Structure 1
Amino acid sequence: MGGYHAGSRAVQDLAGVRERADHVGRSLGQDIKPVAAAFLGIQPLLVVGAADPGTGRVWASPLAGAPGFARATGARQMSVAGGPPPADPLAAALATPGTPVGTIALDPRTRRRMRLNGRLRPTARGFAVTADQVFSNCPKYIQRRAGYETVDRAPGRPRRGGEMSSEQREFIAAADTFFLATVHDRGADTSHRGGNPGFVRAVSPRVLTWPDYPGNAMFLTLGNLRTDPRAGVLFLDWTSGTALQLTGEAHTTFGPDGGRTVRFTVTEVLERAAAVPLRWSAPEYSPANPEPAR
């Protein structure tokens, strides 16, 4: 399958799912189909992952706007109006022509998600991405939120550090969703991870761990990490709009029972209060969520 590189193939073989991956991989395309374009056009949130061109560190950043701010403007092009604030760690990457980016639009109202990966070019109103991969995933592990409202918020001053504070670790312990940006020699990808609160753990001020729940068998994310451990993690407070962004390296451990655990070591932390002008309703947890290990 042309959409898989050696890292994904290696993880598929370790998991014994190559045949299934070949079948599922047929969904990897370059065109934005009409149903995907319609889905994208009604989303108020887009998460973008990329490597900062100056430091090489990988980050995941939230972008928000009125529905239509991110939209398909061609069979293989997505255009985004606006961009991140200057303090965002991806501000330079999203202004650099040719930057490989991975994007994900996730709709908690319908438990649907769409990923579009490609190359970026700045535009007068924001940026555009020429798609290399466009695909949707199943609703597994997405928490349903019935709706949202747009809130007029003044973003707080960014707080930077080299490790997580006790308050940030508590924030993570209560999280039911996060986004994970990864890269490889041909591009970037941003994926979603979800579970009941407690599924991701801050085991120390500089280390996160989480189980890799069974998914679509493509192993795009773990495949990327196998060839390049750089990664970015984004946690959102779906009520207050706070964004907690971490960059570092992630490695996967395969257990004797076939289970997988990811260990993420933090290099830098950035917290921005009121970063997203959206207030979502309380979650209804996905019935697919396993109970977190104690």
Structure 2
Amino acid sequence: MSSSTVPSSPGWDLERSPFHEGELAVQERVGVREKIDAQGRRAVRRYLTAQQREFFLMLPYVFMASVDSSGRPWASFLVGEPGFVNPTGDVTLTVRARALYGDPLNDTLVPGAEIALLGVQFHTRRRNRVIGTVGALLPDGFTIDVRQTLGICPQYIQGRELSFNRDPLLPEPRPVHRNSRLDASASAIISKADTYFVASVLLQEGDPVATGADVSHRGGRPGFVRIDDDHTLTAPDFVGNFIFNTIGNWQFDNHAGLMFIDFDSGAMLYIAAHAEVLWDGPELHAFNGAQRLFRYHIDEVCRVEASLPCTFTAPDYSPLLERTGHWDIVAKTLEAERLRTVWRPFKVLETIDESATIRSFILEPADGSGLVGYQAGQYLPIRLQPPGWAEPTIRTYTLSDASNGRTYRISVKREGKGGCSDFLHDHIVVGDTIETLAPRGAFVFDEAAGRPLALISAGVGITPLIAMLNSQLVNDGRTLLHKPIYCIHSATNSKHRAFAAHLAKKGELHANLTLHVAFSRPSEDDVLGKTHQSEGYIDRALLRRVLPLDDYEVYLCGPPGFMQSVYDALLSLGVRDSRIHLESFGPASVSRRIERTVEVDNSEGVVVTFAKSGRNAIWRPKVGSLLELAEANGLKPLYACRSGSCGTCVTRVVKGEVDYTEPPAHDVEPGEALICIARPHPGPHLEDGTQNREGVTLDI
């Protein structure tokens, strides 16, 4: 394709998708297929753009993928003075470089071979990818026939500058070490690495769009690739561009070619392996920021000493690494799971005034143990004993940020009644210690729902919704929920509105986020359209105006009156009760209108008898706790924390036994139950004529 044949409308010019079936399958799995297809048709091209031609001319190094005679992909590193990669046309590149000594590319570079070229500027974190085939071999290099190009997101790249210390066109012999597993020197390179490159391939004869090699960059905190043993590695996979070239290829061919650069010694490490994608498991959940884990089963190792003709400056680490985990933290997190029901000391690392009445407390473990992970929306039980109080008191405060593996953040409103919230504001400072249990709570974000999202809050009720928002909108522009998100918040005025600057930044960076703030009593300094979008309260008319007609997943949190009125308004607008998730604070619960389904649930249940009220009910797992079952049947037992921490809901068990979703933090006497976290234990016998098990009788 010459310059004269470049399409007048830039982008993908074929009817079929620019992605093959493996890539599409992974995109479908994570819920982005439709969105990425539209983006791909704009970004993927079958020629080099002007920007890409200029970009490659500036580079002193590029990364390559090639395929050996047995079909295994290898990742390689090519260096040269800027201009050594020269776009000689819209679909051709000339590379004036020789493979490094010992690099597998020396054997795989033949005319017609499938290759991929990845241009990276470490210091600017820009990337561009080319897929094609080797054209002609030249005395000092080769040409590439370009088949596909794509600009790639600049995430997790560590900034480094290069300088040459010998002629890159004259590779010098160096000691080469080959093995079937890792030796001590290879392990040393991997254990300190903050970057590696992975090559993959899909070979499909007769389909030039689907077939090809790929080479991708992976970055993390030093040591982010774990050495499990001398033939196994495990690495996290963070949020990327959602195209899934590498994992897509692995759907058909799980061969992987890994390359590690020792930026200190100039050594190169090449590994042939088989890749396994881990989509779930305790280690994945404990590794902050990881969306998946890659496990590499090593087949062959090649290490070349002092291979590079250049040196690199110390790394300028990507700011995105701050919110990613590390294997040391993962180990501590998994160990901390044993301490879920133990009161542990946490030191106040920082305090932040979010508004005139709300202050955040950043807490880190003070006992040397790790941090138990949590889901966005959950809360943290804390225990305090202010001077003069006869007994310690337990309170629960919502965690107001997504889990980061290192700290907890609670955001507390001063109530002005002399209680725990006032004590925290008036007396707790940086360096003080607070006792906490592990996070808990059932008000959590459902990542599997995949629907447009409405986060509706009032006052300090925004805290769990901020955590949910932060869990989905990440890395200064990336979103894990590829649907519209509406954040609707009510506050008195700017002085009483928390997280205003944070939300404004999110709104600027994330195109799928819409913010609407309603002030009930604006101050003189507030400006409609700038500090807030409406005046008054969140009601039916406002919701109808702000929310386009759609099937939303709604998360609602605030004072009881606010909760009830907004819940009723949502129902009147056609939002299903099952789509509305509630978290209230204060003594009252929302009166819900449970949907009547056409299909009757005839699955096995457990009979629960409320002795005092003379009522019987059938418990099934979807009901939740015994407290929720009682409330659904019109009863109003006492409760406070709903986390098994305070003991307020303790109830006498007249007959039968209960089970707990997690061990209670409050001591429970024999013959009693904390119904806020208890479920009936199914008896061995069915009730006569039914599919329901004998269960428990409670003194309610």
Is the structural similarity TM-score above 0.5? yes
Tell me if 1:43 matches 2:59: yes
Structure 1 equivalent of residue 108 of structure 2: 93
Point out where structure 1 has 5 or more consecutive residues left out of the alignment: none
Question: Separation in 2 of the partners of 1:242 and 1:27?
Answer: 35
CA RMSD of the aligned region, Å? 1.7
Which residue of the partner structure matches residue 167 of structure 1? Answer: 185
| C-alpha distance in 2 between matches for 1:27 and 1:293 | 35
Choose 150-159 or 272-281, whichever is displaced more. 150-159
Range with bigger deviation, 152-161 or 119-128: 152-161
Which letter does structure 2 place at the counterpart of 1:213?
F
Q: Which residue of 1 aligns with 2:128?
A: 114
Picking from 198, 216, 237, the partner of 1:180 is 198
Output aligned runs, 1:2-41, within 5 Å.
2-25=17-40, 26-41=42-57
In the other structure, the counterpart of 1:291 is 325
Say whether the 8 Å CA contact 1:176–1:197 is kept in structure 2.
yes
Mapped contact 1:226–1:251 kept (Cα < 8 A):
no
Deviation at 1:155, TM superposition (A): 4.8
Partner of residue 304, structure 2:
272
- Quote the offset at 1:85 in angstroms: 4.9
Cα deviation, residue 90, structure 1? 2.1
Partner of 2:72: 57
Paired AA for residue 119 in structure 1: T
Report if aligned partners of 2:17, 2:37 keep a CA contact under 8 Å in 1. no
Superposition map of 1:187-226 within 5 A: 187-226=212-251
User: What residue ranges of structure 2 are gaps of 5+ in the alignment?
Assistant: 1-15, 204-210, 329-700
Instruction: Give, as a single letter, the amino acid of the residue that structure 2 aligns with 1:124.
Output: L
* Amino acid in structure 2 at the alignment position of 1:156: R
Q: Give the whole-Å Cα distance in 1 for the aligned partners of 2:175 and 2:39.
A: 43
> Structure 2 CA distance, aligned partners of 1:74 and 1:123?
17
Contact 1:140/1:288 (8 A) holds in 2: yes
1:77 maps to a residue whose letter is T
Shift of 1:82: 2.8
Contact conserved, 2:101 with 2:173, CA < 8 A, in 1? no
The amino acid of 2:302's aligned partner reads: L
How far apart in 2 are the matches of 1:87 and 1:65? 17
Which deviates more, 222-231 or 166-175? Answer: 166-175
Q: Secondary structure at the match of 1:110?
A: coil
Relative contact order higher in (CA < 8 Å, ≥ 6 apart)? 1
**C-alpha separation in 1, matches of 2:100 and 2:191:** 27
Which one of 72, 80, 84 corresponds to residue 95 of structure 2?
A: 80
Q: Larger deviation: 147-156 or 262-271?
A: 147-156
Does residue 259 of structure 1 match 2:297? no
Deviations 1:14-53 (A, max 9, x none): 1111123113313111211121111111211111111112
> Take 1:114 and 1:128, find their aligned partners in 2: how far apart are those partners?
17
Instruction: Verify: 1:127 aligned to 2:127, yes or no.
Output: no
**Shift of residue 231, structure 1, vs aligned partner:** 1.1
Give a deviation string over 1:160-186, Cα, whole Å, max 9, x none.
Answer: 111111221121111011111000021
Q: How many residues align?
A: 291
Distance between the aligned counterparts of 1:39 and 1:78, measured in 2? 12
1:20/1:217 contact within 8 Å kept: no
Q: CA 1:86/1:286 → structure 2, altered by over 3 Å: closer, same or farther?
A: closer
- Tell me the distance in 2 between the aligned counterparts of 1:23 and 1:144: 31
**Structure 2 SS opposite 1:240:** coil
Aligned to 2:143, what secondary structure does the other structure show? strand
**Identity between Structure 1 and Structure 2 (%):** 35
| Greater radius of gyration (CA) | 2
**Equivalent residue for 1:66, pick from 81, 96, 101:** 81
Counterpart-to-counterpart distance in 2, 1:172 and 1:109:
22
- Tell me how far apart the structure 2 counterparts of residues 211 and 85 of structure 1 sit (CA, whole Å): 28
TM-score (norm 1): 0.94
Shift of the 214–60 alpha-carbon distance from structure 1 to 2, 3 Å rule, reads same
Whether the 8 Å CA contact 2:197–2:258 is kept in 1: the answer is: yes
Pair 1:230 & 2:244 matched: no
**Separation in 1, partners of 2:125, 2:59:** 12
**Of 267, 272, 277, which aligns to 1:247?**
272
1:135 Cα deviation from its structure 2 partner: 1.2
Please state whether the residue corresponding to 1:199 is helix, strand or coil. Answer: coil
Q: Partner amino acid for 2:304? A: R
SS in 2 for 1:284: coil
DSSP-derived class of the 1:92 partner: helix
Which amino acid in the other structure matches residue 16 of structure 1? G
| Per-residue Cα deviation, 1:110-141 (whole angstroms, up to 9, x for no partner) | 11111111111233232111111111112110
**Contact 1:254/1:260 (<8 A) preserved:** yes
Distance between the aligned counterparts of 1:38 and 1:239, measured in 2?
A: 30
Q: Alignment partner of 2:138: what SS? A: coil
State how far apart, in whole Å, the 2-side matches of 1:23 and 1:240 are.
44
Q: Counterparts of 1:150-161 in structure 2 under 5 Å?
A: 150-152=164-166, 154-161=172-179
Contact 2:163–2:310 (CA under 8 A) maintained in structure 1: yes
**1:33 is aligned with what amino acid?**
T
Inter-partner Cα distance in structure 2 for 1:100 and 1:73: 19
164-173 or 229-238: which moved more? 164-173
1:104 — aligned with what? Answer: 118
Distance apart, 1:285 and its partner CA: 1.0
Whole-Å separation in 2 of the counterparts to 1:76 and 1:108: 25
1:86 Cα offset (Å): 6.5
**3-state DSSP of counterpart to 1:270:** strand
Which structure is higher in helix share?
Answer: 2
Kindly provide the amino acid, as one letter, of the partner of residue 291 in structure 1.
G
Deviation at 1:238, TM superposition (A): 2.0
Residue type of the alignment partner of 1:279: T
Q: Following the alignment from structure 2 to structure 1, what is the Cα–Cα distance between the partners of residues 38 and 26?
A: 16
